Structure formats: C-alpha cells, structure tokens
C-alpha cells in the first residue's frame, strides 16, 4: 500500500461535524479515501456512518469541516468556519455527477423501466443523444447481469435485481467514486449474494468505493480499510486484518464485533 | 364599497335562531344516516346476493344523484304517495337517506380493517350473529370510522343549506329573507358563511375530542 | 307516460345539459389548476404564504357552496363585480373546488418516497426535471382515485347553480315541471341522467387509474 499514500487522496474529509438540532451526529471526523480503494464504514446503528456517507455528496449539509473530492470542496462555496454559503443548485449537480450513490431502499423510479431508470440521467444530465444513452445504459445493465430485464418495471424485479439496476444507474454516469448506504440491508438473505458479487467485481475493476455495511464478511474480504464509528466519532480506521483479527486494539471495536458474532451464531 | 357591521349585528339574532334549524337538519339527518347506514352496510356485505345487490344499487343511486334533486323529489313526491310530512321532516329524511349511502360505505371500509379472526373467535364461541354485530362489529366500526363520520356530519351541516330551496327557514333561507329586506347581500352572506364555519370548527373539535376519548377508552 | 312532453321540451333539456357540462368541465378544470397552483405554493412557498393558503383551504371547505355562490353572485356587485349567472356559477365552482384539489395534490406530493427524490438529486437531475419526470407522473397513482371522486362530487354540485338561475339541467327540468304540472317523470328522468353521468365518470376514472398504475402490477 506504499504507493497510494504518495498520491493525493480522491476524497479528503477534514474535521467534519454535523448536528441535527441538539443531536451531534458527527464530530471531528478526519478521513481519506484513495483512488481504487474500498473503504467500509462499520459501527452500531446510530453511530453516524450513514450520515457520514450522506455528507460526502451533500445529501446532508455538514456544519463544520470540509469534504473534498479531487481537491474540490463539496457543497459549500468556501472552506472555513460557518456560516458559509451553499453552492448553487447547478454547481452541486455538477459535483454530484461524479459521485454515484446506492441506497438501502434502492429508490428506483417505479414508473420507469429498468432501462429508462438507467438512461434518465444520461440523457437529461449528461445530455447524451438518446441512442448513445441507450447503448451506455444497456452496457451498464450488462455489467450487473441484467440485460434480459431492461424492459421490466421495478415492481417486476426482485429486491436483488432492483438493487443491481440501482447500481447500474449509478455506474452508467461513470462516477469517480461510488457510495453504498447499506446496499443489502433491505434484501432477503438469499438475494444478498448477487448484489455483493456485483460490488466485488466493481472493486476488482478498480472502482473507488465507500460502503456502509453490516456484512462483516464483505468488509473483511473486499475492503482495503475498515473505519469503525461510534457515537458520531471515528474510533479507528485500519486494514481489515487489524480490525477483524483475534484481538482488535480498541475495546469498543471488540465489543461491537463480539455482539455481532453472537448475533450471527445460529 | 362599504361593509356595514351594523347590518350584521342587527340581524345576528335571527340568523343564530335559524342556525338551530341548520343544526336540527344536520344532526337529525346524521342520526337517520347512522341507523339506516348500519343496515345498508350489513345488507351490502351480506352473503345473500339479492340483498347485497339491492343495497349496492341503493348506495350507487343515492350517491349518484344530486342531493338537491333528491330533496325536491322527497318534497314533491311524498304527498303523492300519501305521506304528508312537514317540510322539515321531509328534508331531514332526504338528507338522512342520502347520507346513509355514504355512511354505509364508511362502515364497510372500517369493518374491513377489523381482523377476520375476531368474527371467527365469536363464531367459535357460539355468539349469535346479531350480538356479534351489535356488541363487537358495529362499535368498532364506528370507532374506526369516526374521523370519516365527523366529516360526514360537517358535510351535512353544509348541505343543509339546500333545504332553503324548499322553503325551510334554516340559516341560508333566513339570510336570503334578510337580504331581501336589507339589500345587503354581501354582509349577510359573509355573516352566514362565518356561522357555518364556526359550527363546523366546533363540530370537528368535538369529533377530535371523541376520537381521543374512544382511543383511550 | 307523456313522451311528447319530452319531445316538446327536448331542446330546452338538451341546452340545459350543455350548460351543466360546460359549468362542470370549465369549473372543475379551473379548480384543478388553481388547486395545483396552491399545492405547489404550499410546498415551495415561504411560511406566511403557507398559513394564508391553509386558512383559505379551511374557510372554503368549512362553508356551504351555496353561500359562496351567493356571496359572489349577489354580493359581487357591492364590490364592483357584476357577473352573469353562468360566470358566477363557474367562478364559484373554481373557488369551491380548489382547496379540495389542493389537498389531494398535497397528499400526492407527500406520498412519493423521499429516497426517490434523493436518488434523482444524486445523479444530478435538475429540480424542474425531478418535478416533471419523477414527481408528477407518480402523483397520478395516489391522486387518480380521489380526483375522480371529487369530479363526481362536482358533477352533482352543478345542480345547485339552478338556484341563481343558471339555465342548467335542473333549472330546465324545473321549468318544464312547473309549466306542465308534471313532476314525477321529469324528475325521475333527471335523476337517471345524473346517475348515468356519475357512473360514466367513475368508469372513466377506473380506466385512467388502471392505466396510470400499469407499471405497479406484477407480470
């Protein structure tokens, strides 16, 4: 891993904080993501991992600190202390095109077919001609092994298939990073594998990914680094071997993984 | 334009007195609507295909014809068939018969949310059908349907204004009469609107109160 | 049965039917547009405007249509608004219907899962595009049934316009009844007429609903 540290990180998070009214959701988070890296965010529910992810593409407006994508500040017009002005809608849209996102609840648009879901932004955000957009959309669907389902409406797809269409919708935009917010949590157990398979393949092809997940197996085998959050703070960020090894350094990580293992023992 | 509150002030007592008739028509209509609505609802969901179809036809017809037309028919036709009711009674009956079609559907919707298991449990215990309805189904249906039933009552307050057309001295009719004498339609009708609005605000507050009571109890 | 009566009054009844349809369509479409505008203003407008809209909705829904009609038709001249019966009828129809339509659209807006809009923002769709491509087409699903329902209610409310001498169907029928001293037949036919109109509208609404929910059905 010596080579990636010399390169500029693709995402830089510096002293990030976020409040919801009186509740401190994130506190002083500093974290980098490098090109082609897979970073998994784990932690108990309410630890702030989803909020952190949603701050990266400004679905949540963070209060303090900075999030930068390839050096460019996300969401706000200027760095520095609040109050600061948010970017115009147009500028924010331009930034978001480079950040793909996959949601727990898929969030496909139910009145559009699988192909239309993928092609929508290609035509109306990237401004591609329709034929070219369709070709790209089909290629994206092929990547997630759903070429035969392009004419289906979401209601006629299984949860796993819907999530794969959602992944295709995001990768068709050719983003520089992909965010996954518990992508398999809403799926029946037998459908989890097909989604994780697609994600593994993306990782192998060098996509930069930030994944909030409860799939410890995925985190252990696919992630380059695992970040553990608790109570809105970053407790540790280390290669999976250090986190999932017999004796993690931090007692909090240990406790979390212990309850996790017990829950999963049948 | 000059808006004279004096005109309103002078005529308010007459209008408030007339509002009692408005209340009588709507509350009386609602009482008929509830009783008749329960029977209609029972007929509608009964297994007998004939009874069920008749009820469906009734509901469709009374919901499909303007209440004003129904009112005129009741008013002019009842004497034809030998029923010489006072105009107010005819109006209450017409409003109630029409509203029952809506109440029946409200109750039917509410009954559908009561788990089937309750009926099965009652049948397993050997509770007769009539008690099942009277003690178990109807009270729950009314409780579940209460928001819609409150709405229906508020609707009846508003449609009671149609009774003015057949000459009943309720709020709208009296407002028309006062307008005829004072030539101040704007003031009088705005005042009438305010009274209707007030009645409905009070009724919906009472409805919410009843809902809370029933939810606790 | 006095069929020749219906022949004699045929043209008048037909023109009454025309006026009923005119008032119904113009009035309800106008109410729909105004209601949609109110719902949009409510969703995107500043807070004081929201309160104003809320108050408007409550007041119009809390008072009888007939009184609204009277205020506009009889009270109108007192603030310089002189309307013919048909104009007053249509205008009050638009006002009367708008808050109900606004509430239907408002709950339609709320029925669309927030995540879908977030997903659209994530791929960079513009707010206008989101409104027209994501929100509006889907709003048809939860709103078609209540919209149909309210169109049906408005069908029947047209009868009230007869009170201010709008020459619609009920008015013409009443004229016929009083001129010929026959009551039963004209009113039975009239009832049938409204009933058919209502059944027709509800049939049409079902068709539309089936069409707009096509994508939700499992193959």
Q: Do chains B and A touch (3 or more CB pairs under 8 A)?
A: no
In order of start, what are the domains of chain C with their CATH numbers? 3-213 (1.10.3720.10)
- Name which of A153, A181, A156, A155 is nearest A167 in CA terms: A181
Contact A109/C129, CB-based, under 8 Å?
A: no
- Among A74, A124, A162, which would you mutate to test the C interface (most chain C Cβ atoms within 10 Å of its Cβ)? A124
- Out of 1.10.3720.10, 1.10.510.10, 1.10.357.10, 3.40.640.10, the CATH code matching B5-216 is 1.10.3720.10
Contact B68/C160, CB-based, under 8 Å?
A: yes
Interchain CB contact of C116 with A (< 8 Å) = yes
How do residues C54-96 score in pLDDT, each as one tens digit?
999 989 999 999 999 999 999 888 888 888 999 999 999 999 9
DSSP symbols for B94-105 = HHHHHHHHHHHH
For B189, the closest of C70, C163, C170 (CB atoms) is C70
Question: Where along chain B do its domains lie?
Answer: 5-216
The structure tokens listed for C115 are 């995540």
Distance from CA of C60 to the nearest CA of B (A): 9
Query: C135: nearest CA in chain A?
Result: A109
Query: B78: nearest CA in chain C?
Result: C184
Distance from CA of B143 to the nearest CA of C (A): 23
What's the sign of the alpha-carbon dihedral A223, A229, A234, A235?
negative
Distance of CA C206 to the CA centre of its chain: 17
- Among B59, B77, B189, which would you mutate to test the C interface (most chain C Cβ atoms within 10 Å of its Cβ)? B189
Question: What are the beta bridge partners of residue A66?
Answer: A14
How do residues B152-180 score in pLDDT, each as one tens digit?
899 999 999 998 988 888 889 999 889 88
Per-residue confidence (pLDDT) for residue C10, from 0 to 100: 82
Residue A4 has pLDDT above 70, yes or no: no
Per-residue confidence (pLDDT) for residue C45, from 0 to 100: 82
Percent of chain A having pLDDT more than 70?
Answer: 95
**Which residues are within 8 A (CB) of C141 and not within 5 positions of it... i.e. 6 or more apart?**
A111, C111, C212, C213, C216
- Among B69, B148, B162, B187, which would you mutate to test the C interface (most chain C Cβ atoms within 10 Å of its Cβ)? B69
Residue C97 has pLDDT above 60, yes or no: yes
How do residues A124-166 score in pLDDT, each as one tens digit?
888 899 999 999 999 999 999 999 999 999 989 999 999 999 9
How do residues B13-54 score in pLDDT, each as one tens digit?
988 998 999 999 999 999 999 999 999 998 988 888 889 999
How do residues C115-135 score in pLDDT, each as one tens digit?
899 999 988 898 888 988 888
Dist. CA B142–CA C211, nearest whole Å: 34
How do residues A71-87 score in pLDDT, each as one tens digit?
899 989 888 777 888 88
Interchain CB contact of C159 with B (< 8 Å) = yes
The structure tokens listed for A168 are 């295709």
For C133, the closest of A57, A99, A120 (CB atoms) is A120
Query: C120: nearest CA in chain A?
Result: A121
Instruction: Report the run of H or E that residue C123 belongs to, with start and end.
Output: none
How do residues A27-42 score in pLDDT, each as one tens digit?
999 999 999 999 999 9
**Contact, B41 vs B108, CB < 8 A?**
yes
Band (C176; pLDDT cuts 50, 70, 90): confident
The structure tokens listed for A79 are 């760095």
Residue C159 has pLDDT above 80, yes or no: yes
Query: C113: nearest CA in chain A?
Result: A107
For C74, the closest of B76, B165, B185 (CB atoms) is B185
Residue A1 has pLDDT above 50, yes or no: no
The structure tokens listed for B88 are 């107010």
Least confident of A175-184, A205-214, C142-151: C142-151
Distance from CA of B20 to the nearest CA of C (A): 16
Per-residue confidence (pLDDT) for residue A266, from 0 to 100: 41
Residue B215 has pLDDT above 70, yes or no: no
Per-residue confidence (pLDDT) for residue A263, from 0 to 100: 67
Contact B192/C170, CB-based, under 8 Å?
A: no
Distance from CA of A117 to the nearest CA of C (A): 10
Least confident of B63-67, C172-176, C197-201, C210-214: C210-214
For C66, the closest of B70, B161, B190 (CB atoms) is B161
Rounded average pLDDT over C186-209: 87
Residue C8 has pLDDT above 60, yes or no: yes
Band (A2; pLDDT cuts 50, 70, 90): very low
How do residues C137-158 score in pLDDT, each as one tens digit?
888 888 888 888 888 888 888 9
**Contact, C162 vs C174, CB < 8 A?**
yes
ipTM value, please give it.
Answer: 0.84
**Contact, C102 vs B217, CB < 8 A?**
no
**Contact, C89 vs C23, CB < 8 A?**
yes
Contact C183/B66, CB-based, under 8 Å?
A: no
Dist. CA C87–CA A218, nearest whole Å: 69
Residue A22 has pLDDT above 90, yes or no: no
**Contact, C161 vs C168, CB < 8 A?**
yes
How do residues A189-209 score in pLDDT, each as one tens digit?
888 999 999 999 999 999 999
Distance from CA of C200 to the nearest CA of A (A): 27
Dist. CA C79–CA B190, nearest whole Å: 13
Per-residue confidence (pLDDT) for residue A5, from 0 to 100: 52
How far, in Å, are A56, A60, C111 from residue C107 at the CA level? 31, 25, 6
Instruction: Report the run of H or E that residue A82 belongs to, with start and end.
Output: none
**Contact, A51 vs A42, CB < 8 A?**
no
Which chains would you list as touching B if contact means 3+ CB atom pairs under 8 Å?
C
Give the Cα-Cα-Cα angle A38, A40, A46 (nearest 5 degrees): 155
Rounded average pLDDT over C35-60: 90
Give the Cα-Cα-Cα angle C165, C170, C173 (nearest 5 degrees): 105
Per-residue confidence (pLDDT) for residue B127, from 0 to 100: 79
User: In the 8-state DSSP scheme, what is residue A86?
Assistant: B
Which chains would you list as touching C if contact means 3+ CB atom pairs under 8 Å?
A, B
Contact C120/A109, CB-based, under 8 Å?
A: yes
Question: What are the beta bridge partners of residue A210?
Answer: A39, A179
How do residues B191-209 score in pLDDT, each as one tens digit?
999 999 999 999 989 988 8
- Identify the residue with better confidence: C30 or A3: C30
Least confident of A54-58, B62-66, C142-146: C142-146
Interchain CB contact of C128 with A (< 8 Å) = no
Q: Do chains C and B touch (3 or more CB pairs under 8 A)?
A: yes
Query: A57: nearest CA in chain C?
Result: C122
How do residues B104-145 score in pLDDT, each as one tens digit?
988 888 888 887 778 777 777 777 777 788 888 888 888 888
**Contact, B31 vs B94, CB < 8 A?**
no
- Reported residue count of chain C is 219
Distance from CA of C58 to the nearest CA of B (A): 9
């Amino acid at each position: 891993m010596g080579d990636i540290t010399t390169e500029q990180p693709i995402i830089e998070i510096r002293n990030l904080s976020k409040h919801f009214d009186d509740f401190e959701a994130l506190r002083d988070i500093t974290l980098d993501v490098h090109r082609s890296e897979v970073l998994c965010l784990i932690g108990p529910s309410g630890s702030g991992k989803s909020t952190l992810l949603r701050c990266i593409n400004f679905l949540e407006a963070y209060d303090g600190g900075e999030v930068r994508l390839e050096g460019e500040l996300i969401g706000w017009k200027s760095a520095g202390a609040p109050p600061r002005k948010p970017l115009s809608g147009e500028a924010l849209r331009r930034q978001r095109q480079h950040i793909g996102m996959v949601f727990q609840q898929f969030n496909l648009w139910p009145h559009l077919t699988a192909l239309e879901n993928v092609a929508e932004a290609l035509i109306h955000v990237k401004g591609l001609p329709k034929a070219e957009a369709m070709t790209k959309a089909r290629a994206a669907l092929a990547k997630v092994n759903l070429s035969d389902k392009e004419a289906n409406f979401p209601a006629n797809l299984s949860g796993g298939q819907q999530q794969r269409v959602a992944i295709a919708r995001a990768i068709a935009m050719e983003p520089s990073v992909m965010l996954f917010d518990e992508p398999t949590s809403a799926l029946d157990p037998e459908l989890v594998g097909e989604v994780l398979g697609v994600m593994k393949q993306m990782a192998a092809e060098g996509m930069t990914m930030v994944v909030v997940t409860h799939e410890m197996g995925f985190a252990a085998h696919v992630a380059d680094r695992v970040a553990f959050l608790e109570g809105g703070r970053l407790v540790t960020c280390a290669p999976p071997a250090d986190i999932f090894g017999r004796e993690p350094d931090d007692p909090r990580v240990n406790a979390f993984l212990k309850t996790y293992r017990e829950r999963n023992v049948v | 334009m000059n808006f004279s509150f004096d005109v309103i002030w002078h005529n308010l007592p007459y209008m408030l007195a007339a509002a009692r008739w408005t209340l009588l028509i709507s509350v009386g209509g609602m009482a008929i609507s509830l009783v008749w609505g329960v029977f209609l609802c029972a007929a509608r969901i009964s297994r007998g295909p004939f009874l069920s179809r008749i009820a469906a036809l009734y509901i469709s017809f009374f919901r499909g014809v303007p209440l004003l037309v129904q009112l005129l028919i009741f008013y002019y036709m009842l004497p034809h068939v030998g029923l010489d009711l006072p105009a107010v009674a005819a109006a209450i009956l017409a409003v109630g018969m029409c509203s029952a079609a809506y109440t029946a559907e409200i109750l039917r919707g509410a009954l559908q949310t009561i788990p089937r298991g309750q009926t099965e449990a009652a049948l397993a215990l050997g509770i007769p059908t009539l008690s099942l309805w009277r003690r178990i189904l109807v009270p729950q249906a009314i409780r579940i349907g209460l928001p819609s039933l409150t709405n229906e009552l508020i609707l009846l307050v508003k449609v009671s204004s149609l009774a003015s057309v057949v000459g009943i001295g309720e709020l709208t009719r009296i407002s028309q009469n006062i307008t005829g004498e004072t030539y101040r339609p704007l003031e009088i009708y705005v005042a009438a609107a305010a009274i209707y609005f007030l009645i409905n605000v009070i009724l919906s507050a009472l409805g919410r109160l009843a809902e809370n009571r029933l939810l606790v109890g | 049965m006095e069929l020749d009566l219906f022949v004699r009054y045929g043209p008048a009844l037909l023109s009454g039917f025309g006026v009923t349809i005119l008032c119904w369509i113009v009035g309800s479409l106008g109410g729909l547009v105004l209601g949609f505008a109110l719902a949009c203003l409510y969703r995107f407008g500043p807070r004081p405007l929201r309160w104003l809209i809320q108050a408007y909705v409550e007041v119009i829904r809390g008072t009888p249509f007939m009184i609204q009609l009277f205020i506009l038709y009889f009270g109108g001249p007192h603030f310089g608004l002189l309307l013919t019966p048909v104009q007053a009828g249509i205008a009050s129809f638009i006002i009367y219907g708008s808050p109900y339509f606004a509430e239907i659209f408002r709950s339609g807006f709320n029925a669309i899962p927030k995540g879908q809009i977030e997903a659209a923002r994530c791929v960079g769709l513009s707010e206008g595009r989101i409104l027209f491509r994501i929100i509006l087409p889907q709003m048809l699903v939860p709103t078609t049934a209540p919209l149909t329902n309210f169109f049906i209610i408005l069908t029947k409310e047209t009868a009230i316009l007869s009170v201010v001498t709008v020459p619609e169907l009920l008015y013409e029928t009443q004229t016929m009844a009083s001129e010929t001293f026959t009551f039963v037949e004209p009113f039975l036919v009239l009832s049938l007429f409204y009933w058919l109109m209502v059944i027709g509208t509800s049939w049409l609404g079902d068709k539309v609903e089936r069409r707009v929910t096509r994508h939700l059905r499992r193959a």
